[in-house]
Structure 1
Amino acid sequence: MKKDIIIHGDVWAGLEFIKDNSVSVAITSPPYWKQRDYNFEGQIGQEESPEEYIGRLVTIFNKLRQKLKEEGVFFLNIGDKYLNQYGKSHLLMIPYRLAYHMVKDGWHLEEIIIWYKPNHMPSSVKDRFTNTYEPIFVFAKRKENIYKDFYKREKKNVVEIPLQQTPWKHTAVYPENLVQEMLNRVNLNDGDIVLDPFAGTGTTGVVVKNLRNGFLSKEVYSIMIEKGNEFVKIIKERVGVEDIIQVKEIPYTWHSAKEENLPSNIDSLLLVNDKHGEVHIAQTYEEFLSILKGMRTKEFKSFHREDALYFVGIKEWNLQSLYYVHAIYKYGYVVRNMLVVSNGSKWYPVFMLSRDTTKVAYKFYLDRVRTNPKIKEERDWTKEEFIGMKVRDISGKTSREGQVVEILEKYPDEFPKIIVVQWNGEASIEFVMHPEKDEFLMEGLRFFCARCNTELIDPYDPIEKNVCPSCGLELWINVETIPIIKEPKEILECVNDLEKSDYLVGQIVDVVYFKIEKNGSSSKFHSLDRINWGASPGARKLVEGEYFTKMRLYRIDQPIVAQYLTLLRKSKNMRIQDVISKFPKEYYHTVGHWFRKDFGGSIPIPEDIKLLRKVFNIHDGLLKILERTALKFQTVKTSVKGKNPGDYIKNRNEEELIAFLKKLYVPSNEYLLTMSKK
């Protein structure tokens, strides 16, 4: 074969077209499960269950193995998926489950490479680490293969390669440098073929073309299989392929993967050191599985709080250890992260686990481990255009979109302070919080003992008694023991200043009506066209469109609100049913959730707070605070408190790692005591 080939059609039919034992290297990244919809029937990645998805890929890759030469290798890049369920989301461990079943199907697993993305996709998650890496599996047809020489020489299974800007609307493009790195690990010869069965935009073909035309002058060619019409056009343009082979779809069958439980011949090992959580780095596979089995026992569960957090790692890991972690879900736990601990060349995993309960959220003190706090950014607001800017309202029962049509009042630096927003059908006067106040809003509300005025670092514990550490007063047992709640003075100044304004915030006003075109996405990245979606959040200039969001002024834990409302209700000798009776009929299934402290609980929206204040005849306190809303300026930026460190942890020894992870769950009083000793 002396040319690159595009096979336009289904992957199974495309593989059927290729001769057996003809491919030296296969490299690909298939559609991830339930991540993206490519809008054609029967697409891979939209199966009903992870097991069906895994079984389908095992079948496809079995066919691919037939196409490899005896010494051939297969580089597989695949990402994971969180299954969102009531209360918590569970990391499904799909890549490692797939690899396990592929090995059972006859593949030889040579290596698992961690691809760390320094400019990874930003994330707003606050109850786990941000995902910053993906695994790349190196499979071979047999133990003696063309990857062996590299592995014996380098023994490096971590690569740090940034995401690459691309001019195509494809959100799952892996960078050319990643493909180049993988192909550098094998000894390609003239006449060798590189296959990509899920070619996408043809990155593999571009790299192969560069190898052929570069200083190495390797006569290497690519075969790319792609079903999408638009992607085929892109491949043709990028790689310069003239001929496209059309193949008709060929039906094929597959079976869902059958998952295994933890091995029964392993004894249990109990970790009962701290009721708030555990950190343990196992040395061996047997020790690691013993810990997982120990977590199933009544002794382990009864010793730890329901909101405890667990970090369990393994130094001498193997594929089986990564595979069996998924089985912990059957025993009442969820996998929240698989952390990768690396020295830059080798790695080992540490799993972050929590109880699968809807009663209480686990403690995760992210602010303690953030890195690189944001340097205050100066922007010249006099040069910014705000008229016509999009406004999203998420403070009510349903979200809505509008646009800024008039600026009534400005801050001294010309940033809008009071504006008119045109919604579909009406317009209203709205207050805008200055971006400089973000750090104070992030600090949030502060709670103080009702007797001695000592600040409470952890204001409410839904599991154990709440006792003031200074005077011993038991808090949250009646309205007299509700902690004193204070707002940041910098925010209060804004609120008080607003009350003196000539404008009534929230007032409906008459403006010239015009229709607002709705956009299908609420993402900050929705309008990106020829910009990679994985670009660094610091490159705000690459993002088309900033906007305002109308939302509650402060974020607060729902159990605190539920306990506060419960004490108010009891002080009025009211049952929950009595409160429900004060609301319209459509609230029948809503009001009860305001008093729940589990994951079924909810916080009343500001318009409902007004009704609650009338029901309880309360005109100050937490209810008044919860009623406050403001427009906040939304842009892609690092938090004022710093960056989430992400799930790739580099250059920490075991002692440093354990200390780092314990910061995430130890009680605040204990943490502050530790910090004061330092």
Structure 2
Amino acid sequence: MKNDIILCGDVYAGLSFLKDDSISVAITSPPYWQQRDYNFDEQIGQENTPNEYIGRLIKIFNILKTKLKDDGVFFLNVGDKYLNKYGKSHLLQIPYRLAYHMVNDGWYLQDIIIWYKTNHMPSSVTDRFTNTYEPVFVFAKNKNNIYKNSQGTIFEIALQQTKWKHTAVYPEKLVLELLNKVNIKDDDIILDPFAGTGTTAAVVKSIRNNLFSKNIYSISIEKGEEFVNIIKERTQIEKIIKIKEIDYQWERVTDIDLNENIETKVLLNDKYGEVFIAENSTEFLSIIKGLYNKDFKSYHREDAVHFLGVKFFNLDCLYFIHNINDYGYVLRNMIIVSNDNNWYPVFMIVNDSTRVQYRFCLDRLRVEPKTVIDKNWSNQNFIGTKVINNLDKHANEGYIIDIIEKYSDNFPKLVMVNYNNNIFIEPVLHLYEDDFLMEGLLFFCPHCKSKINDFYDPIEDNYCPHCKQKLYDKLENFPIIKEPNDILELFEILDQNKNINFDVNTKIIKKPTNKTNSKFNTLPKINWGASPGARKLMMGEYFSKNRLYKVSQPLVAQYLTLLRIEKNMTINDVINYFPSNYKHTVGHWFRKDFGGSIPIPQDIIILKNILDDSIGLLNLLEKTALKYQTVKTSNKGKNPGDFISLKNEYKIKKYFEDFLFK
């Protein structure tokens, strides 16, 4: 073979077309499970369960194995998936479950490379670490292969922007680095069975065109004709062979449980959560088995967070961790700890409880932004900017029609909004000074008047850390709540301007449009991914109307319960003041578990007429403000990612302990 080839057709048929023992290197990234819809019939990645998805890939990669040379190497990049459950999404460990079953199917696992995306997308999640990496598995037929032997390799490679209309393109540098890890020679064939936009083929061509490189060739298998045309345009490959589809059957894989003979090690060191790094896989699996012991659950708080890692691990550690979901736990992250280009995993584990939210302090370890944005907003016209009211029973959109007051940098401070010809004056939170949304309220002990920094604990009794008096159990023991001065000043300005009259007919408001020249315009939203460009296209930059203060739901439920008891009312008595369709809604306001909710401002108005808001918390929950929604970097920094570089063992333990509330 002296030229590159595109096989246009299904991956199974394309692999069947190839000669046995003809491929030196295979590099690919199949469609991830339940991530994107490529609009094909019977497409891979849309199976009902992870085990069906894994079983199908096992079938495909089994035939790929027959096409590899005896010393050939297969680089496999697969992403993971969270499965939502009771508000706590469980990390499924799909890549490692797939690798485990591939080894059982006869593959030899040579290495697991961690691809850390140095320009990964920031995330707004606050109850786990941001996902920043993906694994690349190095498979072979046997241990005598062309891979340049190493263990625990880490590639730090940025995501690559591309003009090609595809949302899951891995960068050319990743392919180049992978090919640098094998001993390739002239006339070797490099295969990509899920070619997409042809990144692998493009890299092979660039290597061949280098004066001092090898004359290697590519075979790309791709079913989508649109992507085949992209590959052809990108690589100028002329030889395209259409492949007739072949029907094939596959079986879902079966989960495997831990060996009963493994010893049980139960960690009982800290009721708020265990932080433990095992030395080897035997010790780690013993600790995982210890999670299933009733003593472990009874000792630890229901809202505990555990960080369990293992220095010298094997594939069993990465596979069997996913079984914890069957025993009442949720896997939130697999965190990579990097040390001199080697790595080991640390798993974040919480209880699968519907009663309480686990205690996790992400803000303590935010990653400082590389650059601080100091923008003067005088050149930006906010008139006509969309406002989305997230607090109405039904989504309600409006548009800014006037700026009444500005911050010192000309960012809007007080605006006039037209909601369907109803005019409201709305306060605006500054884009980079909105910390009070999370922890702005000030709590003081009603007995000694000292400031209280501890959060309300829905599990154990609460006491003032200064005078040791009990808190929250009665209205007279409920803390005094004060607002920060800057918010009081903002709402004082609002009061001064609330009587402004405005005739909606005197100004024509042009509604903003989200249409751009983006390559994503013609794609369905499910395929837009999470890139800044896609997010901006999807929503544009707009203001959202939110509750001013984010008070914990269990605290609100406790307060409402105390007010209800003070009035000698049952929950049904409260329900009777609301429409009949509120029967379940009102009940949720008094729950402290995952089924609990906080009443929206218009419902709080009714509650204030029913209950005596003696502490004033309902007044605070009624307050709202606008927040600017944009893809720009926050000055507060990024949420910490699931890839960290720490060498000192004490620092590693301290790092994870800092996330725990005690």
TM-score, length basis structure 2: 0.94
Contact 2:152 2:343 in 1 (8 A): no
Is 1:554 matched up with 2:585? Answer: no
Show structure 2 runs of 5+ residues with no match.
none
Structure 2 residue aligned with 1:404 = 400
> Given the superposition, is the C-alpha separation of residues 490 and 512 from structure 1 closer, same or farther in structure 2, using an over 3 Å criterion?
closer
Structure 1 residue aligned with 2:606 = 611
Deviation at 1:117, TM superposition (A): 0.9
**Which amino acid in structure 2 is aligned with residue 230 of structure 1?**
E
Give 3-state SS (helix, strand or coil) of 1:498's partner.
helix
Structure 1 residues 50-85: Cα deviation after superposition (integer angstroms, max 9, x where no partner): 111111111111111111111111000011111011
Structure 1 residues 7-33: Cα deviation after superposition (integer angstroms, max 9, x where no partner): 112111111221111111000011111
Is 1:113 matched up with 2:108? Answer: no
Q: How does 1:280-291 map to 2 (within 5 A)?
A: 280-291=276-287
**Which amino acid in structure 2 is aligned with residue 185 of structure 1?**
K
In structure 2, C-alpha distance between the alignment counterparts of 1:458 and 1:504, rounded to whole Å: 41
Give 3-state SS (helix, strand or coil) of 2:434's partner.
helix
Structure 1 residues 107-163: Cα deviation after superposition (integer angstroms, max 9, x where no partner): 11000011111111110111111111110000001221111xx11xx5561111111
Contact 2:375 2:409 in 1 (8 A): no
In structure 2, C-alpha distance between the alignment counterparts of 1:345 and 1:480, rounded to whole Å: 58
In structure 2, C-alpha distance between the alignment counterparts of 1:471 and 1:580, rounded to whole Å: 38
Q: How does 1:108-257 map to 2 (within 5 A)?
A: 108-147=108-147, 150-151=148-149, 155=151, 157-257=153-253
> Given the superposition, is the C-alpha separation of residues 517 and 587 from structure 1 closer, same or farther in structure 2, using an over 3 Å criterion?
farther
Structure 1 residues 186-219: Cα deviation after superposition (integer angstroms, max 9, x where no partner): 1111111111111111110110000110133421
Give 3-state SS (helix, strand or coil) of 2:597's partner.
coil
Give 3-state SS (helix, strand or coil) of 2:38's partner.
coil
Give 3-state SS (helix, strand or coil) of 1:438's partner.
coil
Q: How does 1:38-53 map to 2 (within 5 A)?
A: 38-53=38-53
- Counterpart of 2:650 (choices 632, 636, 655) is 655
Contact 2:115 2:154 in 1 (8 A): yes
Deviation at 1:301, TM superposition (A): 1.0
- Counterpart of 1:469 (choices 465, 468, 472) is 465
Give 3-state SS (helix, strand or coil) of 1:589's partner.
helix
In structure 2, C-alpha distance between the alignment counterparts of 1:526 and 1:563, rounded to whole Å: 47
Contact 1:277 1:666 in 2 (8 A): no
> Given the superposition, is the C-alpha separation of residues 259 and 38 from structure 1 closer, same or farther in structure 2, using an over 3 Å criterion?
same
> Given the superposition, is the C-alpha separation of residues 214 and 534 from structure 1 closer, same or farther in structure 2, using an over 3 Å criterion?
farther
Is 1:598 matched up with 2:593? Answer: yes
In structure 2, C-alpha distance between the alignment counterparts of 1:252 and 1:613, rounded to whole Å: 65
Deviation at 1:547, TM superposition (A): 1.8
Contact 1:55 1:257 in 2 (8 A): yes
**Quick check: 606-615 or 575-584, which moved more?**
606-615
Deviation at 1:551, TM superposition (A): 1.0
> Given the superposition, is the C-alpha separation of residues 356 and 534 from structure 1 closer, same or farther in structure 2, using an over 3 Å criterion?
closer
Contact 2:414 2:494 in 1 (8 A): no
**Which amino acid in structure 2 is aligned with residue 585 of structure 1?**
S
In structure 1, C-alpha distance between the alignment counterparts of 2:341 and 2:499, rounded to whole Å: 61
Is 1:304 matched up with 2:300? Answer: yes
> Given the superposition, is the C-alpha separation of residues 350 and 406 from structure 1 closer, same or farther in structure 2, using an over 3 Å criterion?
same
Contact 2:275 2:657 in 1 (8 A): yes
Q: How does 1:377-392 map to 2 (within 5 A)?
A: 377-392=373-388
TM-score, length basis structure 1: 0.91
Deviation at 1:278, TM superposition (A): 0.6
**Quick check: 93-102 or 632-641, which moved more?**
632-641
**Which amino acid in structure 2 is aligned with residue 112 of structure 1?**
I
Contact 2:411 2:430 in 1 (8 A): yes
**Which amino acid in structure 2 is aligned with residue 577 of structure 1?**
N
**Quick check: 623-632 or 210-219, which moved more?**
210-219
- Counterpart of 1:355 (choices 344, 351, 362) is 351
**Which amino acid in structure 1 is aligned with residue 655 of structure 2?**
F
Structure 1 residue aligned with 2:66 = 66
Contact 1:374 1:639 in 2 (8 A): no
Structure 2 residue aligned with 1:497 = 493
Deviation at 1:372, TM superposition (A): 1.4
Contact 1:429 1:508 in 2 (8 A): no
Give 3-state SS (helix, strand or coil) of 2:469's partner.
coil
Structure 1 residues 84-122: Cα deviation after superposition (integer angstroms, max 9, x where no partner): 111311000000000000011111100001111111111
**Which amino acid in structure 2 is aligned with residue 159 of structure 1?**
F
Deviation at 1:459, TM superposition (A): 2.9
- Counterpart of 2:267 (choices 267, 271, 295) is 271
**Which amino acid in structure 2 is aligned with residue 649 of structure 1?**
I
> Given the superposition, is the C-alpha separation of residues 168 and 611 from structure 1 closer, same or farther in structure 2, using an over 3 Å criterion?
farther
In structure 2, C-alpha distance between the alignment counterparts of 1:640 and 1:546, rounded to whole Å: 18
Structure 1 residue aligned with 2:81 = 81
In structure 2, C-alpha distance between the alignment counterparts of 1:308 and 1:349, rounded to whole Å: 20
Number of residue pairs the alignment of both structures matches:
658
- Counterpart of 2:451 (choices 447, 455, 458) is 455
- Counterpart of 1:335 (choices 328, 331, 335) is 331
**Which amino acid in structure 2 is aligned with residue 134 of structure 1?**
E
Deviation at 1:578, TM superposition (A): 0.4
**Quick check: 81-90 or 510-519, which moved more?**
510-519
Contact 1:71 1:141 in 2 (8 A): yes
**Which amino acid in structure 2 is aligned with residue 262 of structure 1?**
L
Structure 2 residue aligned with 1:571 = 566
> Given the superposition, is the C-alpha separation of residues 177 and 128 from structure 1 closer, same or farther in structure 2, using an over 3 Å criterion?
same
Contact 1:313 1:351 in 2 (8 A): yes
**Which amino acid in structure 2 is aligned with residue 232 of structure 1?**
V
Contact 1:28 1:199 in 2 (8 A): yes
Deviation at 1:533, TM superposition (A): 6.5
In structure 1, C-alpha distance between the alignment counterparts of 2:268 and 2:365, rounded to whole Å: 25
> Given the superposition, is the C-alpha separation of residues 387 and 9 from structure 1 closer, same or farther in structure 2, using an over 3 Å criterion?
farther
Contact 1:163 1:535 in 2 (8 A): no
Structure 2 residue aligned with 1:481 = 477
Deviation at 1:286, TM superposition (A): 1.3
Deviation at 1:170, TM superposition (A): 1.7
Contact 1:208 1:222 in 2 (8 A): yes
Structure 1 residue aligned with 2:362 = 366
Structure 2 residue aligned with 1:634 = 629
Structure 2 residue aligned with 1:293 = 289
> Given the superposition, is the C-alpha separation of residues 424 and 59 from structure 1 closer, same or farther in structure 2, using an over 3 Å criterion?
farther
- Percent identity between the two aligned chains: 58
Show structure 1 runs of 5+ residues with no match.
668-678
Is 1:103 matched up with 2:98? Answer: no
Kindly report the root-mean-square deviation, in angstroms, between the aligned alpha carbons of the 2 structures. Answer: 2.8
Contact 1:116 1:648 in 2 (8 A): yes
> Given the superposition, is the C-alpha separation of residues 296 and 338 from structure 1 closer, same or farther in structure 2, using an over 3 Å criterion?
same
Contact 1:525 1:533 in 2 (8 A): no
Give 3-state SS (helix, strand or coil) of 2:54's partner.
helix
**Which amino acid in structure 2 is aligned with residue 253 of structure 1?**
Q
Contact 2:8 2:222 in 1 (8 A): yes
Give 3-state SS (helix, strand or coil) of 1:137's partner.
strand
Contact 1:528 1:544 in 2 (8 A): no
In structure 2, C-alpha distance between the alignment counterparts of 1:373 and 1:123, rounded to whole Å: 14
Deviation at 1:504, TM superposition (A): 6.3
**Which amino acid in structure 2 is aligned with residue 355 of structure 1?**
N
**Which amino acid in structure 1 is aligned with residue 69 of structure 2?**
K
In structure 2, C-alpha distance between the alignment counterparts of 1:127 and 1:118, rounded to whole Å: 22
> Given the superposition, is the C-alpha separation of residues 59 and 511 from structure 1 closer, same or farther in structure 2, using an over 3 Å criterion?
farther
Deviation at 1:434, TM superposition (A): 2.8
